[in-house]
Amino acid sequence: MKDFSHASFPPEVISVMEAALDAAVASLPEPVHSSHVQAIAEAILREAHRGERNPVVLQRLPLMELQLARR
């Protein structure tokens, strides 16, 4: 995991990241494990830090990574 403790995002980007996280977590089957939420959040932070601002992309990329990691 990259350390994002010094990352800063404008409020509108934080809103997009929050929406992406909520949507991604809501799409997971129950029970939702905290490790999955952590992995999704880290992926969203990483992609937003790289400049991604599309909420659909920020939602789908972490889910695809999570799916690949399960294999």
**3-53: pLDDT as tens digits:** 666 778 999 999 999 999 999 999 988 898 899 999 999 999 999 999 999
Residue 53: closest CA among 5, 11, 3, 2? 11
Q: Would the pLDDT of 71 be above 60?
A: no
Contact, 2 vs 46, CB < 8 A? yes
pLDDT at 70: 66
pLDDT at 22: 95
Q: Would the pLDDT of 65 be above 90?
A: no
Between helix 11-26 and helix 34-49 the angle, nearest 10°, is 140
